[in-house]
Amino acid sequence: MINHLLLHLLIIVSLILNLVSSSSSPPTALKLDSSLSVDNKNDFLISPDGVFTAGFYSVGDNAFCFAIWFTKPLFNNDQTVVWMANRDTPVNGKGSKLSLTKTGNLMLHDAHQDLPIWTTRTRDLTNSAELKLNNSGNLYLESKDGEILWQSFGSPTDTLVTNQPLTKDGVLVSSRSRTNHSSGFYKLIFDNDNVLRLVYSGPKVTGVYWPNPELRAWDAGRSTYGSERTATIDRFGRFISSDGWFFNTTDDGSQPMRRLTMDVDGNVRVYSLDEGNRIWVVTWQAIAQTCTIHGSCGENSTCSNERNYARKCTCLPYHKMVNRTDWSYGCEPEFRSSSCSDGDQDGFLRLPHFDFYGYDLKYLPNTTLDVCMEECRNMCNCKGFQYKFDKKQGIFLCYPKFLLLNGFGSVSFNGTLYLKVPRSTLSSNYSMKSVQTDELNCSGMPRTVQLDRVYDKRKEQGSIRFLLLFTYVFGIFEIICIVYFFYKTRKHITKPEGYLQVASGFERFTYADLKSASENFKTEIGRGGGAVVYKGTLSDNRVAAIKCLKESDSNQGEAEFLAEVSTLGRLNHMNLINIWGYCAEGKHKMLVYEYMENGSLAENLHANKLDWDKRFEVAVGTAKGLAYLHEECLEWVLHCDVKPHNILLDHDYSPKVADFGLLKFLDRDGNGNSEFTKARGTRGYMAPEWFFVSLPITSKVDVYSYGVVMLEMVTGMSPQGGDQHGGYERLMVRWVREKVAAAASTDGCGEISKWIEEIVDSRVKGEYDRIRMGTLIKVALQCAEEQKDARPTMSQVVDMLLHGDAL
Ligand SMILES: *[C@@H]1O[C@H](CO)[C@@H](O)[C@H](O)[C@H]1NC(C)=O
Ligand SMILES: *[C@@H]1O[C@H](CO)[C@@H](O)[C@H](O)[C@H]1NC(C)=O
Ligand SMILES: *[C@@H]1O[C@H](CO)[C@@H](O)[C@H](O)[C@H]1NC(C)=O
Ligand SMILES: *[C@@H]1O[C@H](CO)[C@@H](O)[C@H](O)[C@H]1NC(C)=O
Ligand SMILES: *[C@@H]1O[C@H](CO)[C@@H](O)[C@H](O)[C@H]1NC(C)=O
Ligand SMILES: *[C@@H]1O[C@H](CO)[C@@H](O)[C@H](O)[C@H]1NC(C)=O
Ligand SMILES: *[C@@H]1O[C@H](CO)[C@@H](O)[C@H](O)[C@H]1NC(C)=O
Ligand SMILES: *[C@@H]1O[C@H](CO)[C@@H](O)[C@H](O)[C@H]1NC(C)=O
Ligand SMILES: *[C@@H]1O[C@H](CO)[C@@H](O)[C@H](O)[C@H]1NC(C)=O
């Protein structure tokens, strides 16, 4: 027994020693015949001034890349990676390592595999090479006599840091997407004629899009006679390239940290670090109109510029997206192209102000429209043609096209695209289908990479490993016991707050912070659902809404509160309100949100401040936010209190759903009962299920509430009031349903507008699209069905609103 105890004590001591030694400061160099392991969280190289770190970087579940990043994280704890060794082949999170062999070769091995994933193919003759990371962020292998055998600056990924040269051998390649770090389609390269260019190199086509391909290099201010090919940005923000091209960033002269990155959207940008707020600020970009970037929207679609550098992709009429998660796949026709022999079957759809760049079958100057149409009809592979007036020559130009790519819609563009469509399709009316690029379908797109490779187990060592594992587990268990004992006895001295803060990933505020931010909780901006909301200004001048939760009976510990809050903090969608942080001090539990300038939908409806366009936007945005909440990302988050008071409007009236997920810890009853023992929500918006104990509560309760809100928005009637088993909303729903049914029975299709006019609120200003309005009303009615199974899901709602194919 004593022996046993002694043995354990020994193991514990050695474990502690192990911990102490590995938590001491990480090495600044890797020597020959040693390695960095993915298993050891402290295996990093850090530059002497601490700015850069090199090590294994997690790119997903059990997927790691060897990378260099800025040591200090951004305000939201994100790291900024500047280089990756194996971006296209991540390695396992166990057993992988980067080793420097005795011969001076640097190799990256994946989970005990024999062949390296990546290697520098170097050889050191001095037998003393070291791998170092210097203050510029360069990882280099240097032999004793100072020769640089290999350096990361020589093979950039998608980013140049200050003073890092781009050379003839270096290419910046964008990431595939914001979450997928593997090589994408956009490249910044020195071309064969020595000119620095942006190239789109997609799965099917490639093309240069910067500088403007219609200009010759000289006209774009570039020299083709450079004796060398190199470009760098210095610490003052001055970029100089050997083709004679240069620029200064907007903050030139000052010396913050900078990086030049080939972004996923095909634009090259320079970012400067705003040290105070820890965010990257764009201080230069190559292309102002992002739609001129090729390939961004894919085939058979067009791009239009939006505010804030954003862009929107839209399928051509009669086309639908090939892959709902990725615009680069483009759109496919919904019609069957007529057989080639019979061109007469084809008509043309006129789309003014649309331009498609490139892929011309022919160039026909001074042509009439009829001749141009005839040409396109007679060519089998003609998909349509561009027809535009050339002012200079005073003639019309005709470009029949075999591929509709690089589409760009802008009112300032005077040309017209004529799309070839079978006459039979053309005779039916169409509606333009548009979906925002940033719409994510999370169910179809895992947010992280999951490597499912099996670990290569070495059988001969199996028994020893098992023994080791056993003793480790035992040792750890004992440590836990000891620590627990210590912790128990001195509970009030140590607080595990620091740890929790790191784990939850967003900002923790103290009660004092929030008290001063809100000037002692002076301005109340909302109340209800067991919480009061105050307006406040944080120390960094961000305006926030501070929600103080009702004092709970303290049976919810801080850790539990944090676990739930941090889940909410991870939800991220443009139509969900942003949570910036929280405060949990004793009985004070608060959440800090972004502040919405235009208040709630309820206030705006009451004051009749929204025109029909804004109301449609609210309908679609709210549906997207709820769809994200329900289905696409996290199955369990139901809102349970969808109503106009919880739909907030930002400065340009885009809706954001607020108060989601709160009921998990708002009025939890202390009995440990299931979370839905009593009805929740607000009278008038509550689904019938709430009143029947036997019916399960599913996401369809939110769908019902959404339907009611939409009908309220359209009719101007209030659903509130009524008795305890359902409010006026049933009257409202029934009234609308009867109007629609009456319209359907009197005539089939002709008088589509009549019933709509009877239903919509005549006090609301502005015109509306009757087809859209009809769709919205029908969708809202479906949502407000009594039977939950008859209601659509929120993502079906989004689909129907955007594509108009309700019923
Ligand atoms: C880091 O390495 C690069 C390339 O070898 C070199 O140009 C630069 O001067 C080094 N920076 C520092 C701070 O040593
Ligand atoms: C950039 O700044 C430098 C010095 O700060 C100046 O000499 C140069 O003219 C500037 N270049 C441009 C394009 O503004
Ligand atoms: C859409 O693209 C994603 C990512 O590129 C891919 O994983 C998925 O399988 C594609 N879906 C379809 C329906 O093609
Ligand atoms: C674009 O439309 C044409 C027919 O107009 C079709 O042949 C082509 O396959 C479509 N592209 C994609 C990506 O589906
Ligand atoms: C265009 O064609 C018309 C008729 O064929 C001809 O009269 C005219 O001169 C042409 N214009 C130019 C600029 O070639
Ligand atoms: C387009 O046409 C309008 C009117 O015909 C004209 O005022 C405008 O300058 C034209 N724009 C371009 C870019 O040619
Ligand atoms: C298409 O819509 C227009 C007006 O929007 C209408 O005048 C026309 O009759 C419609 N055509 C068909 C076939 O419905
Ligand atoms: C998301 O993608 C999945 C699978 O690709 C699909 O079943 C689902 O309908 C999509 N959802 C939306 C809203 O497009
Ligand atoms: C990332 O992109 C690459 C290349 O397109 C693809 O093979 C890989 O499956 C993607 N990973 C994820 C998680 O979508």
144 labeled part of a ligand binding site:
no
Q: Which residue has the least CA distance to atom 7 on ligand 8?
A: 444
Which one of 369, 395, 396, 397 would you pick to mutate in the ligand 5 pocket, going by the greatest count of ligand atoms within 8 A of its CB?
395
Secondary structure of residue 782 in the 3-state scheme: helix
Q: Compute, in angstroms, the gap from residue 81 CA to the centroid of ligand 9.
A: 18
Distance CA 422, CA 51 (A): 61
Q: Which residue has the least CA distance to atom 9 on ligand 3?
A: 444
Q: Which amino acid is at 133?
A: L
* Average pLDDT of span 392-396: 87
682-719 exposure pattern, b = at least 16 Cβ within 10 A, e = fewer: bbbbbbbbbeeeeeebbbbbbbbbbbbbbbbbbbebeb
Q: Which ligand has an atom closest to residue 59 CA?
A: 9
DSSP state of 603: H
User: Domains, the chain, ranges and CATH?
Assistant: 28-149 (2.90.10.10), 156-288 (2.90.10.10), 301-435 (3.50.4.10), 457-493 (no CATH), 505-594 (3.30.200.20), 601-803 (1.10.510.10)
In terms of pLDDT, which residue wins out, 333 or 527?
Answer: 333
pLDDT at 622: 95
Q: Which residue has the least CA distance to atom 8 on ligand 5?
A: 366
Q: Which residue has the least CA distance to atom 2 on ligand 7?
A: 429
Which candidate, 531, 795, 504, places its Cα nearest to that of 659? 531
* Average pLDDT of span 38-55: 91
Provide residues with CB under 6 Å of ligand 7: 427-429
Give residue-wise pLDDT tens across range 502-515: 333 467 788 888 99
Find where tokens 């058979």 sit. Answer: 300
pLDDT at 784: 93
Indicate whether 392 pLDDT > 50: yes
339 within ligand 6 shell (Cβ under 6 A): no
Of 148-152, 196-200, 766-770, the range with the lowest mean pLDDT is 766-770
Q: What contacts 330, CB < 8 A, 6 or more positions away?
A: 297, 298, 299, 300, 301, 321, 322, 405
CA angle 489, 492, 497 (to 5 degrees): 115
Distances (CA, A) of 212 to 216, 218, 289, 686, 747: 8, 11, 12, 57, 56
Contact present, 302 and 292 (Cβ < 8 Å): no
Is the four-CA dihedral 555, 561, 567, 571 of positive or negative sign?
A: positive
In terms of pLDDT, which residue wins out, 428 or 462?
Answer: 428
444 within ligand 9 shell (Cβ under 6 A): no
Q: Which amino acid is at 81?
A: V
Q: Compute, in angstroms, the gap from residue 678 CA to the centroid of ligand 3.
A: 41
Indicate whether 456 pLDDT > 70: no
Indicate whether 528 pLDDT > 50: yes
Confidence tier at 53 by pLDDT (50, 70, 90)? very high
Indicate whether 740 pLDDT > 70: yes
Provide residues with CB under 6 Å of ligand 5: 366, 393, 395
* Average pLDDT of span 363-389: 91
* Helix 729-746 with 752-759: angle, nearest 10 deg: 160
- Which span out of 57-66, 303-312, 411-420, 519-528 was modeled with the highest average pLDDT? 57-66
Find where tokens 């939760």 sit. Answer: 549
Q: Which residues are catalytic?
A: 641
CB neighbour class for 488 (10 Å; exposed up to 12, middle 13-18, buried from 19): exposed
Of 30-34, 548-552, 589-593, 668-672, the range with the lowest mean pLDDT is 668-672
| 244 backbone φψ class: left, alpha, beta (φ>0; ψ -120 to 50) | left
Which candidate, 178, 176, 100, places its Cα nearest to that of 139? 100
Indicate whether 693 pLDDT > 80: no
Distance CA 377, CA 268 (A): 40
Q: Compute, in angstroms, the gap from residue 441 CA to the centroid of ligand 8.
A: 6
Q: Compute, in angstroms, the gap from residue 385 CA to the centroid of ligand 5.
A: 21
pLDDT at 656: 92
pLDDT at 180: 87
Indicate whether 764 pLDDT > 80: yes
Would strands 579-585 and 507-508 be described as parallel, antiparallel, or unpaired?
parallel
Distance CA 581, CA 505 (A): 9
CB neighbour class for 474 (10 Å; exposed up to 12, middle 13-18, buried from 19): middle
List of E strands, 645-727? 647-649, 655-657
Atom nearest to 796 CA in ligand 8: 13
pLDDT at 439: 37
* Helix 770-783 with 700-715: angle, nearest 10 deg: 140
* Helix 700-715 with 729-746: angle, nearest 10 deg: 70
Of 83-97, 415-429, 579-593, 659-673, the range with the lowest mean pLDDT is 659-673
Contact present, 209 and 266 (Cβ < 8 Å): yes
Give residue-wise pLDDT tens across range 132-179: 999 999 999 999 888 999 999 999 999 999 999 999 889 999 998 888
Residue 486 in tokens: 């210590």
Q: What contacts 615, CB < 8 A, 6 or more positions away?
A: 713, 714, 764
In terms of pLDDT, which residue wins out, 138 or 363?
Answer: 138
Give residue-wise pLDDT tens across range 556-606: 566 667 666 766 766 777 888 888 888 888 778 888 888 998 989 999 998
